[in-house]
């Protein structure tokens, strides 16, 4: 049986075999490629036709997935096995939206349903109040998911509440936000699993003072006593669980602000879209499995082709925050250098995720995508049916979307060397029939399961994030140094503190 290193080396041999065939040649030589290398799950369509692979390479990738134990790994995740091995617990974000027939998953789904019922009751209470503005106070997974969802799905809000987000501990953010609001018409939701996140508690204390107390404070946390000590009554605390990581928590009470904006039905539709991908991930054959195929293209680009970055380029302004959301989902999940067993790994894992919304980004960094020395694979995301009546502008937007993927693949000889674009730049095109709560849920779940499949192939844990904690620990040690109550251990930090304090 081949080792992981041997399997990845075998992929490199296929990359070497294809090195002399550019994308234009691969596409021209295969009349049915565009149809065969596309998959649809209800309102979500994905084309891999412009990835630098042929049928033989795809079969090699599927063999890598099989050898990694993918057939068992997928139901292990969805049925509640302890896939988060370093912390000894399951990763049951799918149970927040899908009921699978296993005792662990079913129990988690029941808890999630009870939490949604409480969210719905609180939503009705707030709708009956005089509150017009809601501040979601959280950071990382307690901020990025709801922020993305509400920016993307603003057209589906009834406008009853204006939802605002406060994440950064930089008080300039709070000052600017609160200057636009009335305390008597504002409520806030503090989102922190431990209720110990420094940024959230500092911002929460600032808002509590501004509100004149905790009567209009809500919390989403696993630590009810700490929330109560902060001034939030237990009946206004919604649950979090250790079997859901922050970056996978949009579907839980972390999405309370989403339910407030979209209503119970809109929130349910978002969960239904994710559920559709959950069931597809569990049931589809490997070659027809959309999250798995997306993951395999990512593994191909990282390990066979050696590309160290990945762009995410939504051609819909409503999805402009998707690159930032995926930076956390992908890089926090896959930014690992040791295996499940704690051994140093010898292969590359996560690429750098970055991007921006088209067409704005075409006028900033696309020059590097077309003619730079580094090849950057890209996911392009478009929406076929807009939610506005300006048909001609939408056709122009879609023409740019299609043109960019074509130009990156095929290039152009150009009249001069400076005008030459080499092409051969791989892309995946994701098309949503419409941007709705359901298709949005499906899109996010697609990326969640792609990330997990990549982690299975690489033999790493997608659900811990110990690297995030180191900086937090050092910050707690340096705060007394800035206050003049301690000395820094690191000589450079000591010098920098002296520079700061000399001018404070």
Q: Which among 228, 163, 172 has a CA at the least distance from the CA of 195?
A: 228
How many alpha carbons lie under 13 Å from residue 281 in its C-beta half-sphere? 33
360 burial class (0-12, 13-18, 19+ CB within 10 angstroms)?
Answer: exposed
Residue with tokens 């939802």: 163
Q: Are 433 and 58 within 8 A, CB to CB?
A: no
Q: Where are the beta strands (DSSP E) in 302-454?
A: 309-315, 352-355, 378-385, 427-434
The H or E element that residue 218 is part of is: strand 217-220
Helix (H, G, I), strand (E, B) or coil at 336: coil
Q: Where are the beta strands (DSSP E) in 279-426?
A: 309-315, 352-355, 378-385
Question: Which residues contact residue 266 at a Cβ distance below 8 angstroms, ignoring those fewer than 6 apart?
Answer: 153, 156, 157, 258, 259, 437
Q: Which among 469, 459, 246 has a CA at the least distance from the CA of 334?
A: 459
Structure token pair of residue 195: 């209720």
Q: Are 196 and 209 within 8 A, CB to CB?
A: no
C-alpha span between 426 and 428 (Å, rounded): 7
C-alpha span between 278 and 267 (Å, rounded): 17
Max CA pair span of the chain: 72
Using CA of residue 281, residue 286, residue 288, residue 292, what is the dihedral sign?
Answer: positive
Q: Which among 167, 211, 220 has a CA at the least distance from the CA of 189?
A: 220
Q: Which residues are catalytic?
A: 332, 363, 472
Question: Which residues contact residue 234 at a Cβ distance below 8 angstroms, ignoring those fewer than 6 apart?
Answer: 224, 227, 228
155 burial class (0-12, 13-18, 19+ CB within 10 angstroms)?
Answer: exposed
Dihedral through CA 300, CA 301, CA 305, CA 308, nearest 10?
A: -140
CA 289 and chain centroid, separation: 20
CA distances from 446 to 7, 237, 281, 434 (A): 25, 30, 9, 16
């Amino acid at each position: 049986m081949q080792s992981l290193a041997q399997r990845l080396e075998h992929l490199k041999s296929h990359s070497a075999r294809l090195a002399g065939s550019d994308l234009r040649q691969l596409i021209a030589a295969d009349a049915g490629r565009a149809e065969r290398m596309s998959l649809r799950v209800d309102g979500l369509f994905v084309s891999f036709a412009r990835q630098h692979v042929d049928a033989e390479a795809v079969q090699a990738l599927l063999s890598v997935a099989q050898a990694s134990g993918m057939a068992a790994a997928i139901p292990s995740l969805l049925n509640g096995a302890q896939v988060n091995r370093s912390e000894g617990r399951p990763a049951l974000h799918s149970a927040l939206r899908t009921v699978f027939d296993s005792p662990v998953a079913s129990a988690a789904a029941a808890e999630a349903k009870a939490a949604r019922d409480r969210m719905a009751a609180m939503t009705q209470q707030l709708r009956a109040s005089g509150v017009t503005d809601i501040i979601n106070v959280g950071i990382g997974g307690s901020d990025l998911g709801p922020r993305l969802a509400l920016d993307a799905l603003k057209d589906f809000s009834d406008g009853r509440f204006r939802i605002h987000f406060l994440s950064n501990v930089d008080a300039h953010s709070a000052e600017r936000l609160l200057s636009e609001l009335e305390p008597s018409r504002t409520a806030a939701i503090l989102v922190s699993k431990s209720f110990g996140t420094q940024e959230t508690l500092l911002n929460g204390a600032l808002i509590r003072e501004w509100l004149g107390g905790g009567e209009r404070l809500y919390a989403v946390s696993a630590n009810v006593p700490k929330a109560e000590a902060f001034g939030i009554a237990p009946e206004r605390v919604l649950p979090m669980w250790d079997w859901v990581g922050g970056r996978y928590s949009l579907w839980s009470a972390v999405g309370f602000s989403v339910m407030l904006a979209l209503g119970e039905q809109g929130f349910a539709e978002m969960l239904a879209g994710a559920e559709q991908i959950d069931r597809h991930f569990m049931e589809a054959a490997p070659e027809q499995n959309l999250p798995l195929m997306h993951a395999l293209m990512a593994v191909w680009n990282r390990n066979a082709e050696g590309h160290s970055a990945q762009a995410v380029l939504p051609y819909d302004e409503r999805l402009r925050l998707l690159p930032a959301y995926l930076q956390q989902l992908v890089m926090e999940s896959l930014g690992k250098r040791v295996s499940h067993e704690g051994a140093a790994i010898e292969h590359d894992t996560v690429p750098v995720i970055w991007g921006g919304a088209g067409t704005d980004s075409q006028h900033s960094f696309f020059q590097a995508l077309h003619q730079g020395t580094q090849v950057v694979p890209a996911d392009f995301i478009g929406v076929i049916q807009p939610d506005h009546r300006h048909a001609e502008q939408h056709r122009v937007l879609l023409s740019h979307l299609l043109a960019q993927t074509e130009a990156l693949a095929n290039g152009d000889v150009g009249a001069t060397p400076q005008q030459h674009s080499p092409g051969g730049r791989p892309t995946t095109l994701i098309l949503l029939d419409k941007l709705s709560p359901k298709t949005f849920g499906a899109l996010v779940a697609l990326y969640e399961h792609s990330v997990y499949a990549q982690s299975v192939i690489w033999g790493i844990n997608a659900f811990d994030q110990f690297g995030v904690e180191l900086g937090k620990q050092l910050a707690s040690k340096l705060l007394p140094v800035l206050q003049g109550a301690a000395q820094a251990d690191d000589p450079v930090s000591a010098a920098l503190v002296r520079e700061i304090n000399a001018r404070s």
